[in-house]
Structure 1
């Protein structure tokens, strides 16, 4: 394995470790000597990687924004470009702009060969879908509430157009083929519900923060979906 590839692989291994990894275990994964491993660690630290090591304990990669050059393979570049172009086509204006900006930033730091892959990829998303139904509330309002764990009071119209008032705990946005959905815990139903965003007539924060952690709610929501699929 070339040294550049080995350094990137070492970073990926450290990113995936939740506990300190010893030099011996890292060297074994990379199939190199411990001496080579020490040199590679020293090189990454010199380049700015937030790696912390302690004798007898091991190495950990601290949280940080260390992005070494040549960090993407051709296949990884293809995957990211395909995903961003898909979002650019199907996202709301905020996500479409974010995808466009992210792709420009990635292309700016890629080496020439990888930049050519990004600009002329092998894989392309299909043609843009027809326009989503009109949404009375902009999606940025839901994003803001989700990130703040803020309760929302919504007015929701059912299939027959009958309105109902709900207080919900928003946790995620879903982008389906023909509609967008707000996933939330519904205080009225005492269960997770999916609300079509084109049927939400109004949405206002109540001023209350819902209890617990959003991550725990998302985990419970996914589990509930799996159990429903199993039935």
Structure 2
């Protein structure tokens, strides 16, 4: 890796991390020595890149630091294409269209020499074998999640038993053939995961649940850890 590329990659690693990154962590990801990391970070600081921290405690990048957002590597472009292809084939219609638009915008914005990595990527997404039929307006659910509003749904479980719930939608999880709606259920007073293809009638209530989404996410992650042993990233 060229030194200029390595310096750029250090900034990228710090930018994506929410916690201080140690020199050892940087060295392992970049496959260089810790001494090289110390020297590179010192050079970045000398160039007025706002990195805080020191050897032994870790480094953080000031959040207001800005770089041209489309200085992408070939791997980053192919990762973006792979993700957008997956969403285009498996997302709800609004999200699928947004994924296709994203690829078009990135293609138009990047330099000419990088466009083959989008037009002829080395990665691809297979067409899903099947998909569950659903009547729920998932795009509207995503809007309700952002606005912190409640839903009233009629849900059919695995035994085909039907129940009416008022829920606080939190997150939509996408799998190959189904979608899961993570929500706080007022009936059960607990988090529940609802398959969207088993949701019948849905009423989009104007009422807000008045709980910050970040708080709900923290509680859900704690629930997943304690009840299912699943450690989710911060």
Instruction: State how 1:106-145 maps to structure 2 within 5 Å.
Output: 106-135=106-135, 137-145=136-144
Partner in structure 2 of residue 48 of structure 1: none
Q: 5+ residue gaps in structure 1?
A: 46-50
Partner of 1:155: 154
Secondary structure of 2:169's aligned partner: strand
Question: How big is each residue's C-alpha offset from its partner over 1:198-226, in whole Å with a ceiling of 9 and x where there is no partner?
Answer: 23211322513253512213312432553
Q: Distance in 2 between matches of 1:108 and 1:64?
A: 26
Cα distance in 1 for partners of 2:103, 2:10 equals: 25
Distance in 1, Cα, partners of 2:59 & 2:183: 40
Q: Does the 8 Å CA contact 2:152/2:165 hold for their aligned counterparts?
A: yes
What CA deviation, in whole Å up to 9, does each residue of 1:106-143 have, x standing for no partner?
A: 223333343211210111111244343031x3112221
Q: 1:203 to 1:98 in 2, by over 3 A?
A: same
Structure 1 residues 44 and 84, CA, compared in 2 at 3 Å: closer, same or farther? farther
CA contact (8 A) 2:131 2:178 kept: no
Does 2:36 correspond to 1:31?
Answer: yes
Residues of 2 paired with 1:219 and 1:9: CA distance? Answer: 30
Matches within 5 A, 1:52-91: 60-64=60-64, 66-68=66-68, 71-91=71-91
- Seen in structure 2, the aligned counterparts of structure 1 residues 13 and 76 have a Cα distance that, compared at 3 Å, is closer
Partners of 1:70 and 1:146 in 2: how far apart? 29
Taking structure 1 as the reference length, the TM-score comes to 0.74
Distance 1:109 1:191 in 2: 45
Query: What secondary structure is seen at the aligned counterpart in 2 of 1:31?
Result: helix
For 2:109 and 2:67, how far apart are their aligned partners in 1? 10
Q: 2:217 aligns with which of 215, 218, 223?
A: 215
Q: Against the structure 1 CA distance between its residues 66 and 101, is the aligned structure 2 distance closer, same or farther, given a 3 Å change threshold?
A: farther
Aligned equivalents of 1:29 and 1:13: distance in 2?
A: 15
Unaligned runs of 5+ in 2: 28-32
CA distance in 2, matches of 1:2, 1:190: 55
Q: Are the counterparts in 1 of residues 77 and 118 from structure 2 also a CA contact under 8 Å? A: yes
Cα distance in 1 for partners of 2:35, 2:97 equals: 39
* Bigger CA radius of gyration: 1
Query: 1:24-69 CA distances to partner (integer Å, 9 max, x unpaired)?
Result: x99x8571675x6555345575xxxxx36699x9975233483437
Aligned residues between the structures: 219
Question: Which residue does the alignment assign to 1:168?
Answer: 167
